[in-house]
Amino acid sequence: MKEGDPPKSDETDEGRLSELLVEDRVIEPSEEFKKGAIVTDDQPYQRAAADPEAYWAEWAKQLDWYKPWDKVLEWNPPDAKWFVGGQLNACYNCVDRHVKNGLRNKAAIIWEGEPGDRRTLTYWDLYREVNRFANVLKAHGIERGDRVAIYMPMIPELPIAMLACARIGAIHCVVFGGFSAQALAERINDSQAKALITADGGYRRGTIIPLKHDADYAIAETPSIEHVFIVERGDFPLRIKEGRDHWWHRVMQDAESYCEPAAMDSEDMLYTLYTSGTTGQPKGIVHTTGGYMTGVLATTKWVFDLRETDVFWCTADIGWVTGHSYVVYGPLAAGATIVMYEGSPDWPERDRFWQIVEDFGVTVFYTAPTAIRAFMKWGKEYPNRRDLSSLRLLGTVGEPINPEAWMWYYETIGQQRCPIVDTWWQTETGMIMITTLPGIGKMRPGSAGLPFPGVETAILTDDGEVLETGAGYLAITRPWPAMLRGIYGDPERYVEQYWSKWDKATYFTSDGAKRDADGYFTLLGRVDDVLNVAGHRIGTMEIESALVDHQSVAEAAVVGCSDEIKGTAIVAFVTLKLDAKLSVDLEAVLKEHVARKIGAIARPQRIIFSGDLPKTRSGKIMRRLLRDIGDGRILGDTTTLADTSVVEALQRQYEESEEA
């Protein structure tokens, strides 16, 4: 790290972002890892750059198609069609072909519930269950093109339900099981779902999540729902409405054991997934079949260096796109063994994740920076209790990772032998877009790396100028197979939000990023979170990384709040490590630490110490709520918040600090 370096870009240029944090550490994958890696040279990058369509066609050929495509790409900006005229079935590619190709007895899903119950489903088990539930759906009038909402805990019936929908051509809409009845109702009404698949309940931190009970409130406001299917997870109290509500185990008893998979057009919708919008109205992101399956298969195999013997654990809930792409469709299309876990990483002890790694021999582990910073806060004691020697590759997803959190992950969990793939992508992109490839890529803590072969990205200014190096706005400049095909029912919003900042052929990610001389991309956070301090446009990620670099800090969130003199004041919300001591002068020490690391312009005006930070149920910090607290505004929408008590505590601490 170079401390106190001046910003490298012209901070007064409104089209650019300031570069403050410089990270010089470079770590190579071990020779042992490189020898066994799938990708061992840069030929894939060269092949993809020379003929992107031929490159993606080669990946698509690894799927089974009922009918080959007539044209790889039809691009009428901003509308893309991939593998035009081709027909396939996502479920067949995740299940049937592995049964036919000798993997019927291979474990497909290894599952552990939070109370400790376990199940293992082979590909043959998965095949039978999916076929039977597909027939259940058909018997209850669910047809090709119908929408089906899924509101479940992390249990095997969740991917079974998704695959059953895909098998018959129904469009699934998974709603995270921690969402409120109101959020569920909004998504059902927007998609006009005909059926809901849920469970009587689930477990989280030792408490019961009453899913069916909550779903009943949503169903009262969703007239499109005709049938509700309920998995019996435990002995939870609930109400059954005869004729509408059906126990999963009962309707499965007499279901036929085979359902012919529907031949779906490559551009037929596979699923919608709702993501929060700046207007507060959730957006139903549309993903289709052929291109999406091609993109997630390619990235699963190469980014995770996936091998026949791997036990792959992506810790994301399937209610988020990471779970769709890297718990279900990508790994199962590749014939992998996946781990699913229902509950919290700190229940009943803070070594729960590491116990699962040890017990199941997990080899590839993919989690979020938020989780990693929580592990840091708890200390090395918990991973050190367990044997993590089975791990050979680590990944991170969800938001930029601070360099110090990266190093902790590499040294403590990976024991300095496991490469880390730091992946950038979005609900909208469907697949990983920027990352290193672990067999060849040099790793730089905090930097995602290069665009995946076949993906073209750029750093642009406000007026569309391309920056070969420096900081600006991250854009995607060429269509990619797994790209979103629209916002469900709102084509105008689709164009306005993603394809109107520059031109209709350039996708605006809404993220700030910087690119170095080697082409590596480092994410700086959402453009909405950029701070404008005395003419300097500063990404929050750099200040947060400087704070986390201090030995006492586990996690930090930085926001800009109104200031009568400066216009914007930098306010930092900081969580300390469990073994750190809060002293009277720690705030001053941290302010000076930031100034020394990245310059006086980034020195926080105030630091608020908190036991936790407000996060969504996917683990992302809700900086919008922190800005509301700092500006004394009435809090915005908190329906996606994991723990509302965190915000209330922060408000009190902020007010007390003002009085002090």
Residue 382: C-alpha distances to residues 65, 352, 355, 388, 415 (Å): 47, 9, 9, 11, 14
Strands (E), 8-67: 65-67
Strands (E), 114-267: 118-122, 147-151, 171-174, 195-199, 202-204, 207-209, 227-231, 245-247, 264-265
Spell out the residues 6+ positions from residue 638 whose beta carbon is closer than 8 angstroms to its own: 625, 644, 647
Q: How far apart are CA 96 and CA 260, in angstroms?
A: 11
Question: Which of the two residues, 566 and 405, has the higher pLDDT score?
Answer: 405
Q: Is there a contact between 573 and 613 (Cβ–Cβ < 8 Å)?
A: yes
Last residue of a domain, one of 228, 258, 288: 258
Residue 67 β-bridge partners? 87
Spell out the residues 6+ positions from residue 253 whose beta carbon is closer than 8 angstroms to its own: none
The pLDDT score that the predictor gives to residue 657 is: 61
10 within domain boundaries: no
**Which domain covers residue 238, as residue numbers?**
116-258
Give the HSE-up count for residue 657: Cα atoms under 13 Å, Cβ half-sphere. 19
pLDDT tens, position by position, 629-647 = 877 765 655 555 556 666 6
pLDDT tens, position by position, 559-572 = 888 766 556 788 99
For residue 445, give the amino acid letter.
P
Residue 277: pLDDT over 80:
no
CATH code of the domain covering residue 172:
3.40.50.980
The stretch 519-542 carries a mean pLDDT of: 77
DSSP per-residue string spanning 510-557: EEEEEE-TT--EEEEEEGGG-EEETTEEE-HHHHHHHHHTSTTEEEEE
Q: Is there a contact between 238 and 212 (Cβ–Cβ < 8 Å)?
A: yes
Q: How far apart are CA 139 and CA 226, in angstroms?
A: 13
The pLDDT score that the predictor gives to residue 12 is: 38
- Measured in whole angstroms, the distance separating CA 291 from the mean position of its chain's CA atoms is 19
Picking from 164-168, 577-581, 640-644, which range would have the lowest pLDDT averaged per residue? 640-644
Last residue of a domain, one of 216, 241, 258: 258
The pLDDT score that the predictor gives to residue 627 is: 81
580 within domain boundaries: yes
SS in 3 state form for 54-119?
A: HHHHHHHCCCCEEECCCEEEEEECCEEEEEECCEECHHHHHHHHHHHCCCCCCEEEEEECCCCCEE
Q: Is there a contact between 59 and 53 (Cβ–Cβ < 8 Å)?
A: no
137 within domain boundaries: yes
132 within domain boundaries: yes
Residue 203: pLDDT over 80:
yes
Question: Which of the two residues, 141 and 620, has the higher pLDDT score?
Answer: 141
Last residue of a domain, one of 258, 277, 297: 258
- Residue 2 banded pLDDT, cuts 50, 70, 90: very low
Spell out the residues 6+ positions from residue 205 whose beta carbon is closer than 8 angstroms to its own: 114, 343, 344, 346, 347
Q: Is there a contact between 444 and 23 (Cβ–Cβ < 8 Å)?
A: yes
551-590 burial, b at 16+ Cβ within 10 Å, e below that, comes to ebbbbbbbbbbeeeeeebbbbbbbbbbeebeeeeebbeeb
Residue 447: pLDDT over 60:
yes
494 within domain boundaries: no
* DSSP assigned state of 236: -
- Residue 626 banded pLDDT, cuts 50, 70, 90: confident
Instruction: Say what the alpha-carbon torsion angle 241, 239, 255, 226 is, to the nearest 10 degrees.
Output: 40
Q: In what order do the strands lie in the sheet with 393-396?
A: 118-122, 107-112, 337-341, 311-314, 364-367, 393-396, 420-422
Spell out the residues 6+ positions from residue 381 whose beta carbon is closer than 8 angstroms to its own: none
The pLDDT score that the predictor gives to residue 5 is: 40
186-197 burial, b at 16+ Cβ within 10 Å, e below that, comes to bbbebbbbbbbb
Question: Which of the two residues, 568 and 450, has the higher pLDDT score?
Answer: 450
For residue 275, give the amino acid letter.
T
CA-based nearest residue to 439, from 38, 42, 26, 27: 38
φ, ψ for residue 308 (rounded to 5)? -55, -35
**Residue with structure tokens 């044209």?**
71
pLDDT tens, position by position, 95-132 = 999 999 999 999 999 999 999 999 999 999 999 999 99
Residue 521: pLDDT over 80:
yes
Tokens of 385: 């209790």
Does residue 218 sit in helix, strand or coil?
A: helix
The pLDDT score that the predictor gives to residue 655 is: 61
Q: Is there a contact between 173 and 193 (Cβ–Cβ < 8 Å)?
A: yes
CATH code of the domain covering residue 563:
3.30.300.30
The pLDDT score that the predictor gives to residue 479 is: 98
Q: Is there a contact between 395 and 404 (Cβ–Cβ < 8 Å)?
A: no
The structural domain count of the chain equals 2
The stretch 440-466 carries a mean pLDDT of: 96
The chain-wide mean pLDDT, for the chain, equals 90
For residue 651, give the amino acid letter.
Q
13 within domain boundaries: no
The stretch 606-614 carries a mean pLDDT of: 86
Q: Which helix (H) or strand (E) holds 161?
A: helix 157-168
Q: How far apart are CA 332 and CA 326, in angstroms?
A: 9
pLDDT tens, position by position, 47-89 = 999 999 999 999 999 999 999 999 999 999 999 999 999 999 9
Residue 534: pLDDT over 80:
no
Does residue 416 sit in helix, strand or coil?
A: coil
pLDDT tens, position by position, 309-351 = 999 999 999 999 999 999 999 999 999 999 999 999 999 999 9
130 within domain boundaries: yes
DSSP per-residue string spanning 332-368: HHTT-EEEEE-S-TTSSSTTHHHHHHHHHT--EEEE-
CA-based nearest residue to 376, from 404, 357, 348: 404
Residue 371: count of CB within 10 angstroms of its CB: 18
Residue 247 β-bridge partners? 230
Residue 659: pLDDT over 60:
no
CA-based nearest residue to 156, from 124, 187, 118, 186: 118
Residue 10: pLDDT over 50:
no
565 within domain boundaries: yes
The stretch 367-377 carries a mean pLDDT of: 92
